Structure 1
Amino acid sequence: MIVTLVELENGSVSEISLETLAFARSLAAEGGGIAIRAVVVGDVDAPDAVAAELGAHGVSEVLQATGDAFSAYGGAAWAAALQAARESTKSVVVTAAGSPRGMEVLAHLAARLDVPFAANVVSFSGLAPFVVTRQVVGGAAQEEMKLDRRPAVLTVAGHSWTAAAVGGDAATWTTFSPEVAEADLVARVVATGTKDSDDSDSLKSARVVVGAGRGAGGPEGFAAVGELAELLHGSLGVSRVVTSLGWRPHHEQVGQTGSRISPELYVPCGISGAIQHWAGCSSSKVIVAINTDAEAPMMTKATYAVVGDMHEVVPAIVEEIRGRKG
């Protein structure tokens, strides 16, 4: 059996959790159709809707951890709930999304169970032995890891699997109240706030992203790339150095310390492609890089590379698109 920690956003299952369930379904099929159970922690506003959504993604049962210990998020407390769910179901695999919460909770769980923890898994090869491939060095490299102890504890890298409903009845819903030690409540969320802007979320979900880096030359150098992004109905993304220099706001940053994107098309302009930036854009389906340096890392990794000055190439592309649109 597989247990998956599921995170909710605004009453619905988060996209990255649905991606994790796609991984779990593939794993379950490889194991001969073993069941998938989802664990949600804390209050749920619309359990019927969540049960229907999870059922459509292959979940047979939802286990909701309830109690005062879960009135606010705490990594260790959530791990205690997940451990209780795992023990009651005798699950051999525990998964979660490679989100900040998923990574923290499963790290706690692996420590409690004294088993290895595989973070940012992108695929697996067979079950005996159970070998997974995971992202390392900020996504710049991959390594194979054999999980020979049970349960296997792992997080699934964001955007490495496609969230797709497969149909099915609503999952059954069961509540349980696991015991939580006082020590597990030492670190908890004490306050939350609302972002002033959801621009970073729109960047993460954009089908087209036009990026710009140091090659823009300054704050005034983003007019053409911004126009190109608008013409392509996409979003503007930038490298870390751009935000560090104060040329553009942080919510536009793509990379390990910014947003991780997976658009159909990414057009990085004047971005060399450091490991940290590549960690945020490596899931892009097609990359068309524009740079004066043909040997820049981004140019060598791109699907297509245009050697040239972005201040000449991008305006030419904009003019061509405008001409074709009449």
Structure 2
Amino acid sequence: MSIQSPTLNVSILSKDASALAEEIANAWPQSHALNICQAVTTSEQINPDEVEVLLADPNLAAEVIDQCTGLKWCQSTWAGNAPLLNLDKSDYILTGVKGVFGKLMREYVFAYLLQYARNIPAFAQNQNHQPPIWEESPRAPLTGKTLGILGAGSIAQALIPVAKSFEMKVISLSRSGQAVDGFDDVYVATDLLKFAQEADHVVNLMPDTPATTGVLNQAFFGALKPHSVFINAGRGSAIIEDALLNALDNGTLQAAVLDVFTQEPLPEKHPFWTHPKVVVTAHTAAVSSPEDVASVFVANAKRYIANEALLYQFDFNKGY
């Protein structure tokens, strides 16, 4: 005689609630009982008394999670979870989404690195000029250059194969400075300026923690090479904005591609919008799909039912 497994009661709080519910139902194993007791798009719609397992956008969850006294596990739909980690409540398991962003981040980072390496905007300007201009534009190939990545996690590691295909050296900076396969060098966080001096182009993928807030300052940007392209796809809080603008204005940095900001949406009057050396991409570098999030949730839910350790857990003390 088979033993029926207990029903997993799941609440969904996300802008993609309906799509997530559908994807989870389609992927859910028949051997386990599932009850999606609520799937809503705003915190006002959720009943916190019913919440035991929560799949949620962390910005929405942060508005109601203090009221969820029965919460045991929250699966976030994001990779970073600052809205929840910044709260006092920590008597539950918090897991994030990993393993789905690397391919998207590869496209994003190298789309812009190649744009500047091949000087694509110059050819577009020449073509649109009247009369059109037939001339060679200055280029700065990626071959032989050093790509510096702030962070050494799974998303950072996903950039390595593409960088190596362009015969780039790849260095990283992490809190521990421990060696990671694929990186030519890994710097400890206290060697930030040495890292900056070594890199030709820099991608920030650091998490949002007290230790990373404001670390990309005047000294950091001043240590970069004048031909450097700086890409921020980590968190806006890492940057001292005035320091970045000064570096761009002073010619100590070629360009900045910015996907994340301290305040989002970026205010209409912010100087980043109109600066000729800044590209703004509105937090779209690596947007997960409901299918991707559902696959991570279902894999973790199976572990939850089996009383196994969940994947991608956050440490509330460390902030990541």
TM-score for both structures, normalised by structure 1: 0.29
